[in-house]
Chain A
């Protein structure tokens, strides 16, 4: 594992989540280290989003611990955490700049700093002429760029991206990946949820494959490939989802 000797920025131990009479996540443990890109993989409904919501304190864990920088995350300590949820959405009736400044403030930024960051970011993603446009008038891809801008505000130490490239055209997808790679170079840790295995191959340091709420593969990309005697993450993913649940996982 990259930088395994460093203090983990994310540390999840024996995490279980039960909603109603359904076990969503069972005994999940993993760590993410500073500057690491951690691919969090699994089919739809495997428990990825629920894990992220629990890590962010939106859901309450049934048992286990979920720590960011050594303690559970609360809205008061989330200022340096960026989150791009799977359920995309912004205030459609508000203007782009107002929305970004609002989220910047919620993340603890000074209003002027939030404005400056927003204007710089909008210029970078070629949306500076849309700063005073209502969000509902933007295209889906443009809205997604604004939402990424919100996620990376306030220089995050941890960035959680839930299927960030979903619905993006190749140009904007490349732009997003470039921005994420820049952040990674600056030391930002990234939890990257995706169904696109070529993205995992391209820039993930480590990964975890979740199936039915349980970890089925976990480690550095190299280690997981070695454990499964495969050179393709996609093949490993498919084999895990094709195996019977009674078979022992490579964790």
Chain B
């Protein structure tokens, strides 16, 4: 037990004492925040600049052959309406630089849904301003017959809806039921991205460092692997606490700024904590993590170097992301044979079961059978990992053949 504790502590401290660990962990949310912020600011500033240029446009002429454009709207925009019979002359003026632009709405606008813009500039901001202005001109002209500004705004922007859900005659929390189990999907990917990779790195580095031989003199392979798994799990826990703290701070800031709007009418105050759903999600998460950790340990043990181990491991990373290609089918067509296959197939089962448990489209029999199957695969993967570790831990020159894993005593 004390050796296991030593391995856990060593594994945990080795990782979290690396400056790169903290640099990556702290910089990741910061970089994401900065990118979102810069994107928002650049969009804001771009929009403002386009509006400013649009206000300064003086010599853009609008020719309306479709009779759909409202004359007052054109004049309010600061543009002038041209005579359709003089389109060629107006176009020549643009070509010669006497006019900034010409917008021609053709006779068949309603059927073709196309119109022409001519500008005498390559400045992207001016082009965007003319395009945006003419587009608004068309839309506003079409909405004018609706009457009041409120109705026009409603037609243009739509309205937000409040969703109320019923099931078996009772009002339910609807999409809010998805929040808690949905977090497990995110959690799985965080664990998958960090911990499973740490397991791979830890073992392949130990092989590369040639420290394995001394370690195995004093520690049983099973103790070493379990110790590493638990150490790496503690590292993940540290990361989760860090990310949860960062997330809570971001949530509080967003709430105070009044900019917290979740999609699909989600309301964090209405989170549902169903014990069975959460128990299943926890089971899928742990079994899935340990199964992938077992796979990675096997890869690291049989590959002669960290580089080759990384190459091999990509198969498992792909497996974990495959469910996203089938996400619509998994949610809307759970009885499809492909959905069923992905639910039980080891590489895809953790994510698929977590997603399906979130939307609640597995019956209890399937949910528990999937957990039992995944647990079996998890035990098998750890068994193979320990065996691979015994055979491959001291193999520094070549890859251990998979057939050897099942034949050599």
Contact = CB atoms under 8 A, between A and B. Distances in A.
Contact of B217 (A81, A89, A94, A147): A81
A20 B408 contact: yes
Contacts of B404: 20
Interface in A75-105: 75, 78-79, 81, 83, 85, 87-94, 98, 102-103, 105
B223 interface: yes
A60 interface: yes
Contact of A92 (B209, B215, B218): B209
B6 A89 contact: no
Q: Is the interface of A mostly helix, strand, loop or mixed?
A: loop
Contacts of A196: none
Given A20-B408, A75-B219, A102-B6, A91 B214 contact: no
A53 interface: yes
Given A90-B211, A92-B209, A58 B216 contact: yes
Interface stretch (B10-18, B61-69, B335-343, B378-386): B10-18
Contact of A56 (B13, B217, B223): B217
A75 B390 CA distance: 14
Contacts of A151: 214
A89 B3 contact: no
B52 interface: no
B213 A53 contact: yes
A150 interface: yes
Interface in A42-60: 53, 56-58, 60
Contacts of B218: 75, 78-79, 103, 106-107
A94 B14 contact: yes
A106 B213 contact: no
Contact of A103 (B214, B216, B408): B214
B219 A60 contact: no
A20 B212 CA distance: 22
B18 A93 contact: yes
Given A75-B3, A75-B217, A105-B3, A58 B394 contact: yes
Interface in B1-49: 2-3, 6-7, 10, 13-14, 18
Interface in B184-228: 205-206, 209-220, 223
Contacts, number: 74
B317 interface: no
A20 to B, nearest CB: 7
B209 A91 contact: yes
Contact of B209 (A19, A20, A90, A107): A90
Interface string A163-196: 0000000000000000000000000000000000
B6 A105 contact: yes
Contacts of A79: 218
Nearest to A79: B218
Contact of B14 (A60, A78, A87, A91): A91
A90 B206 CA distance: 8
Given A90-B211, A93-B18, A102 B10 contact: yes
Residue among B13, B205, B210, B211 with most chain A CB within 10 A: B211
Nearest to A162: B213
B214 A75 contact: no
B115 interface: no
A91 B409 CA distance: 30
B10 to A, nearest CB: 5
Given A90-B209, A106-B6, A75 B394 contact: no
A83 B6 contact: no
Q: Residue among B206, B209, B219, B223 with the most chain A CB within 10 A? A: B209
Contacts of B213: 53, 58, 83, 85, 87, 89
Contacts of B345: none
B154 to A, nearest CB: 62
Interface in A7-60: 19-20, 53, 56-58, 60
A60 B217 contact: no
B235 to A, nearest CB: 14
B143 interface: no
Given A75-B218, A75-B223, A89-B211, A106 B408 contact: no
Nearest to A98: B13
Contacts of A81: 217
A150 B394 contact: no
Contacts of B209: 89-92
A53 B10 CA distance: 24
B156 to A, nearest CB: 59
Contacts of A89: 209-214
B118 interface: no
B312 interface: no
Nearest to A62: B409
Nearest to B213: A85
Contacts of A75: 3, 216-220, 223
Interface string A200-221: 0000000000000000000000
B316 interface: no
Nearest to B211: A89
Contacts of A58: 213, 216-217, 394
Interface string B368-397: 000000000000000000000000001010
9 contacts: A60-B409, A74-B220, A75-B3, A83-B213, A83-B217, A88-B210, A89-B213, A90-B211, A93-B14
Given A102-B10, A106-B219, A147-B214, 4 more contacts: A78-B218, A89-B210, A102-B6, A105-B3
Give the top 8 A-B pairs by smallest Cβ distance, nearest first: A89-B210, A105-B6, A106-B218, A87-B210, A85-B213, A89-B209, A89-B211, A102-B10
Interface of A: 19-20, 53, 56-58, 60, 74-75, 78-79, 81, 83, 85, 87-94, 98, 102-103, 105-107, 147, 150-151
